[in-house]
């Protein structure tokens, strides 16, 4: 039997455990569990860290059961990798192992006033004040401001910091710490790709930056150790896979970049999940964007390997807009139904939807924007709205692609895609039409999990996955060619941009003075 490598894929809306053949990259088995999100106040998004860990254990055990039914011996699993929703912020007690507050999810907006005051205090009120070190604008999106909120507002966190019992981590750190023993010797670490999303990490020195930590007033002793994305961090302490090394760790978007085999400068991929994330590898030198993109550490595949960087365009709401149509409006009963509705309309009939539920991310970085649907007439129905929602995902991707082409000076000739939404064929065709370039989707769309399995299997001391170009698996793909006139595409895009302008500067932190408002 060929060696197997497993991946824990802990995303915003679900957790999965997937097992791959290390020689062929074939997906052998998997299990998925949905994660509840809670919205305690408007703009707040939280998840329960204990529920996250329960879902990890459940997915692992269920997948092992499925493998046994297939007569596959789980002893063949030689390593486990962890890939995760990035930026989501946790603090826990290292003595009791208890989380001290819910995980504050990357989409959360509670720190908007903190972000505005930090920007107002910076020279020239510049949101890019820290970009020379972090590659990131000051935004609600990244971990440092969420951690600052926890340190300022949660008594338990303050007490734990005072008594030197607090540990901070993104989701990868929490999972690895729990799996390697928790309060009985758990390993407190993260990898470079996740660390680079905190605003506390210097992407040039490749370590926590004392000056950034002072800027956000974060005690450095609560931070995890930063390691490469491919090395043995520790061993599983319990369950069916006790004794198996955990040897890969990548933020989900970096993992998808590896899973799409984007190892050469200039290669790019776009992942359609809760949000939408386009990354383009820039090699071993960080490239600074002048068009609203982030500079991020893509991966470092081994202790002694160089770090590779990427330009990233991040869109907050992609698949989440479908979930909103389902859960909040009841327009669709299941996520798969949106394709049928949109196809029935075949057009948005002049209706444009800007789903700026968490403000606008790239290329605008405008936290004051809010969602807007415009161009409505008496003729508009739910089918048009479903079509407009799918178009919104495509338009947001086009804005990022345009920025990326301007930054790199070399236009992409096709777009590699992955993620849950890519099973929607109408969306993929719309994307090709709006970008005016082909869209290429791998038949096996689990590239995020595959990427971290590759990193785990290739780690020194595991060595069951060969990442040299001649050994990379051949991936079968589906290609969507543009089918509409570029002028029509450009017209629709210009209308979309008009709608985006109308969504801006909606939410401010100025006191409200409308005394007729029943809520006041």
What backbone torsions phi and psi does residue 356 show, to the nearest 5 degrees? -85, 55
Q: What is the DSSP string of 280-340?
A: EEEETS----SSSPEEEEEE--STTSPPEEEEEEEES-SHHHHHHHHHTS-S-SSTTHHHH
Per-residue pLDDT band for 514 (boundaries 50, 70, 90) equals: very low
Average pLDDT, the chain: 90
Q: Is the pLDDT of residue 154 over 70?
A: yes
Task: Say if residue 488's pLDDT is above 90.
Answer: no
293-345 per-position pLDDT tens digit:
999 999 999 999 999 999 999 888 888 888 888 888 888 887 788 888 888 88
Q: Kindly state the DSSP code that residue 38 receives in the 8-state scheme.
A: B
Using omega within 30 degrees of 0 as the cis cutoff, is the peptide bond preceding 363 cis?
Answer: yes
Q: What are the structure tokens assigned to 123, written together?
A: 């020279």
pLDDT of residue 270 exceeding 80, the answer is yes
Kindly report, residue by residue over 48-95, the tens digit of the pLDDT: 999 999 999 999 999 999 999 999 999 999 999 999 999 999 999 999
The encoded tokens of residue 340 equal: 């049928």
Strand partners, 183: none
Q: What percent of the chain is predicted at pLDDT more than 90? A: 64
pLDDT digits (tens, 9 = 90+) for 131-152: 999 999 898 889 999 999 999 9
Quote the pLDDT of residue 190: 97
Q: At what angle do helices 382-408 and 337-345 cross, to 10 degrees?
A: 100
Tokens of 26: 């074939």
pLDDT band, residue 509 (cuts 50/70/90): low
For the segment 488-498, the average pLDDT, to the nearest whole number, is 89
**How many helices (H) and strands (E) are present in the chain, helices listed first?**
15, 23
- pLDDT tens sequence across 18-52: 999 998 889 999 999 999 999 999 889 999 999 99
First vs last Cα of the chain: how many Å apart? 67
| Residue range 207-255, pLDDT digits in tens | 999 999 999 999 999 999 999 999 999 999 988 899 999 999 999 999 9
The answer to whether 46 and 56 are in contact (CB under 8 A) is no
β 201-202/46-47 pair status? unpaired
d(CA 217, CA 197): 17
Q: Is the pLDDT of residue 401 over 80?
A: yes
Q: What is the pLDDT of residue 508?
A: 66
Q: How many CB atoms are located within 10 Å of the residue 477 CB?
A: 12
pLDDT digits (tens, 9 = 90+) for 376-392: 999 999 899 999 999 99
């Amino acid at each position: 039997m060929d060696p197997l490598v497993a991946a824990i894929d802990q995303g915003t809306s679900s957790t999965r455990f997937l097992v791959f053949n290390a020689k062929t990259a074939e997906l052998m088995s998997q299990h998925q569990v949905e994660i509840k999100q809670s919205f305690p106040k408007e703009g707040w998004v939280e998840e329960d860290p204990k529920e996250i860990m329960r879902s990890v254990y459940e997915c692992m055990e269920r997948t092992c059961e499925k493998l046994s039914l297939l007569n596959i011996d789980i002893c063949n699993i030689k390593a486990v990798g962890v890939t995760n929703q990035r930026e989501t912020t946790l603090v826990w007690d290292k003595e009791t192992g208890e989380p001290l507050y819910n995980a504050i999810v990357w989409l959360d907006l509670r720190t908007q006033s903190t972000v505005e005051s930090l920007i107002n205090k910076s020279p020239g009120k510049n949101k890019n004040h820290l970009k020379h070190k972090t590659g990131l604008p000051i935004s609600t999106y990244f971990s440092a401001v969420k951690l600052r909120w926890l340190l300022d507002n949660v008594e338990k966190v303050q007490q734990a910091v005072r008594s030197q019992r607090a540990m901070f981590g993104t989701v990868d750190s929490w999972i690895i710490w729990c799996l390697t023993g928790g309060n009985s010797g758990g390993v407190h670490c993260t990898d470079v790709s996740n660390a680079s999303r905190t605003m506390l990490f210097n992407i040039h020195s490749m370590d926590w930056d004392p000056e950034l930590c002072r800027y956000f007033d974060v005690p450095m002793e609560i931070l995890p150790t930063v390691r490469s994305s491919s090395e043995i961090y520790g061993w599983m302490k319990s369950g069916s896979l006790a004794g198996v090394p955990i040897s890969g760790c990548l933020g989900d978007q970096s993992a998808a970049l590896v899973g799409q085999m984007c190892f050469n400068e200039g290669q790019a991929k776009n992942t359609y999940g809760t949000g939408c994330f386009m990354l383009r590898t820039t090699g071993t030198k960080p490239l600074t964007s002048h068009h609203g993109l982030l500079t991020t550490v893509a991966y470092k595949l081994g202790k002694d390997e160089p770090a590779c960087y990427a330009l990233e365009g991040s869109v907050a709401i992609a698949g989440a807009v479908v979930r909103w149509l389902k859960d909040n409006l009841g327009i669709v009963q299941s996520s798969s139904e949106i394709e049928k509705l949109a196809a029935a309309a075949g057009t948005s009939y002049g209706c444009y939807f800007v789903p700026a539920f968490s403000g606008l991310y790239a290329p605008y970085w405008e936290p004051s924007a809010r969602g807007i649907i415009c161009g409505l007439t008496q003729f508009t129905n739910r089918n048009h709205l479903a079509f407009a929602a799918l178009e919104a995902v495509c338009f947001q991707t086009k804005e990022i692609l345009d920025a990326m082409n301007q930054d790199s000076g070399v236009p992409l000739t096709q777009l590699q895609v992955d993620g849950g939404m890519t099973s929607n064929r109408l969306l993929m065709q719309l994307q090709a039409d709006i970008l005016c370039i082909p869209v290429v989707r791998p038949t096996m769309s689990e590239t995020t999990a595959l990427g971290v399995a590759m990193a785990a299997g290739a780690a020194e001391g595991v060595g069951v996955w060969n990442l040299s170009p001649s050994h990379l698996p051949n991936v079968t793909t589906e290609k969507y060619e543009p089918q509409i006139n570029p002028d029509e595409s450009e017209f629709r895009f210009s209308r979309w941009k008009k709608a985006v302008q109308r969504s801006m500067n909606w939410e401010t932190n100025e006191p409200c003075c409308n005394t007729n408002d029943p809520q006041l």
